[in-house]
Amino acid sequence: MSALRWLDPLIIVLYMVGLVSIGLVFSRRQTSTERYFVAKRSIPGWAMGLSLLATLISSVTFIAYPGSAYAGDWSNLVPGLMVVPVLALTATVIIPFFRHAVRMSAYEYFGRRFGYAARIYGSLAYALGHFSKMGFVFYLLALTITSMTGWNTDRVIILVGVITVLYTLIGGIEAVIWADVVQGFLLWFGIAICLGYLLWLPAGGPSAQLATAWNSHKISLGSLAPVLTRPTILVLALYGFFYYLQRYTADQTVVQRYLVARSDKAAIRGIALGTLLCIPVWSLFMLMGTLCWAFYKNTGEKLPAYITKADQVFPYFITTHVPPGLAGLFMAALFGAAMANLSSDFNSLAAVGVTDYYRVLRPHASDRARLLAGRLIVAVCGALCVVVATVLAHTNGNALSLWYTVSAIVGGGLVGLFLLAFLSERASRAGAYIGIAVSLLFTAWATLTVDGGKLWNLGRFNFTLHSYMIGVIAHLIIVVVGYLASLLFPDPDRAKRELTVWGWWRQQRQQSPQEISR
């Protein structure tokens, strides 16, 4: 039963046809860059929130979370829990600030604050980080589909790439968002199906399944030891806090969601909805991995020899124990999760390419030419992503750990740069550049010497903390070094102080309540 039944691929095909149809519906509206990238700020808050949920939930959640819980405990849920304090910090100030400070790209703010070089640094760090992420999204999807169907991995990658690029290219951000809304509803339906079979299929029902997991200490968030050399709760919490702070302050994919909403209040409500829905989704996927472990323990059923990774167990359960049609719906949700994530990235990368590069290099180009350039960037990004995914599809190791390690390393200190720009009126252009340089030097050294110096062994001069800490320290270096360097090299332009949180609050106090509510 490792191959999908005929009803299941039919459902997948119909779902993909539906996504392309959404792109076609919105294709005629895409007549300007304002419409193509930010939907002329016309999206309802609830739809934007479901789009954010689909953006944050990818094949990493569908496969790696259950795989992580099956192989160990719930410790890899800890980073996701940090999204709640990040939301509390960003909702009241940062979301309305961005809606009034930038037009399309999050890195416009870095340029206004520290000059064009900082804008280029921010956009490049974002692009590199998201290309690595897209590779992992494709990798996990290909791994899952291959294990469930026996289909050729490269063909799966190409199929998903072509369909995703097609509806993103023709429908713009509106097609991306409304496809995400559909994916959000399908996601919850797929979760309900899988949980039902995992809880009630074994003898003894839910009580036996949960008791087995609890008594075996499978539902644990990990070690409370105050050490930074292994993935303890402290390390995972620090990583998660800075990772999501980066996503909510310096990630174009999320910032672009702020910009499409109809009003500041709608944006805040939508971001809160999408963020708070993520916690139960992540938790339920962890629970499904744990229940998979309990299922095979309680039933005594043996896994086949070709199941060699924990990430393969949950998909195998779906194909062998969920009836035809229902398994297809879950598979469609899996495809949709990957495609929702990728489509958001394609459109956001195109927005960055047009706003931060094309408009600067060709300031007199027409809006029609910029729109054409944006569509071309979507197509190129899709092609490059397929190439990268083909290489990464055969990556060995635990998928979720690889995901966290790579994203920690390539973060580029963007949170640090944002915090320096937003919190310090004294922060200067020279100080920011010095902070970036020191942060990059540290990141290069730590990346090469981490894990006992696998790439470059410097003995006692190796980076000895866990790899998740590389990104955390890189952010802090930019803040501390950038601030101290700014004291030595102050910025004479006092007008830039208005681009900080303190300047924002001064402006808000001077506005009427009616102006603030808009």
Q: How confident is the model at residue 74 (pLDDT cuts 50, 70, 90)?
A: very high
Within 10 A of 225 (CB to CB), how many other CB atoms are there? 12
User: Does pLDDT of 171 surpass 70?
Assistant: yes
Least Cα distance to 123 among 33, 244, 255 occurs for: 255
Domain ranges of the chain: 7-411, 412-518
Q: What percent of the chain has pLDDT over 70?
A: 93
Confidence tier at 305 by pLDDT (50, 70, 90): confident
Report the interhelical angle of 367-392 vs 116-149 (nearest 10°): 50
Nearest to 37 by CA among 366, 258, 273: 258
Q: What is the mean pLDDT of residues 341-345?
A: 87
User: What band does 407 get if pLDDT is binned at 50, 70 and 90?
Assistant: low
C-beta of residue 257 within 8 angstroms of C-beta of residue 55: yes
Q: Could you write out the three-class secondary structure of 410-472?
A: CCCCHHHHHHHHHHCCCCCHHHHHHHHHHHHHHHHHHHHHHHHHCCCCCHHHCCCCCCCHHHH
Specify the pLDDT at position 397: 45
Report the C-alpha gap between 161 and 211 in whole angstroms: 42
Q: Does the pLDDT of residue 391 top 80, yes or no?
A: no
Q: Is the pLDDT of residue 198 over 80?
A: yes
The confidence band for 328, taking pLDDT boundaries of 50, 70 and 90, is confident
For the residues 112-117, what does the mean pLDDT come to?
92
Residue 492: per-residue pLDDT: 81
Across 410-426, b (16+ Cβ under 10 Å) vs e yields bbbbbbbbbbbbbebee
Tens digits of per-residue pLDDT, 424-439? 999 999 999 999 999 9
* Gap between the Cα atoms of 153 and 386, Å rounded: 11
Q: What percent of the chain has pLDDT over 90?
A: 39
pLDDT for the residue 3: 47
Check residues 401 and 454 and name the one with the higher pLDDT: 454
Say yes or no to pLDDT of 257 above 80.
yes
Residue with the larger pLDDT of the pair 334 and 196: 196
Report phi then psi at 59, rounded to 5: -65, -20
Q: What is the pLDDT of residue 234?
A: 94
Find the mean pLDDT for residues 447-458. 84
Q: Is the pLDDT of residue 517 over 90?
A: no
* Mean local confidence (pLDDT), 136-142: 74
For residue range 500-513, list pLDDT tens digits in order.
989 888 887 876 55
For residues 12-27, give the mean pLDDT.
88
Radius of gyration of the chain (CA): 23
The predicted structure's pLDDT at residue 513: 55
| Global confidence as pTM | 0.87
The whole-angstrom separation of Cα 141 and Cα 60 is: 9
Give the pLDDT score at 465.
93
Q: Indicate the average pLDDT of the chain.
A: 86
Determine which helix (DSSP H) or strand (DSSP E) holds 258, and give its type and residue range. Answer: helix 252-260
pLDDT surpassing 60 at residue 403: no
CATH class of segment(s) 7-411: mainly alpha
Check residue 518 and give its pLDDT.
52
Residue 408 has pLDDT above 60, yes or no: no
**∠89-95-100 over CA atoms, to 5°?**
140
Q: What is the pLDDT of residue 394?
A: 62
Grade residue 19 by pLDDT with cuts at 50, 70 and 90: confident
CA dist 218 and 57 (Å) reads 23
pLDDT value at 417 more than 60: yes
Distance CA 384, CA 320 (A): 35
pLDDT band with cut points at 50, 70 and 90 for residue 216: confident
pLDDT at 506: 85
Q: Is 216 exposed, middle or buried (0-12, 13-18, 19+ CB in 10 A)?
A: middle
- Is it the case that residue 36 has pLDDT exceeding 50? yes
Question: Mind giving me the DSSP string for 322-340?
Answer: SPTTHHHHHHHHHHHHHHH
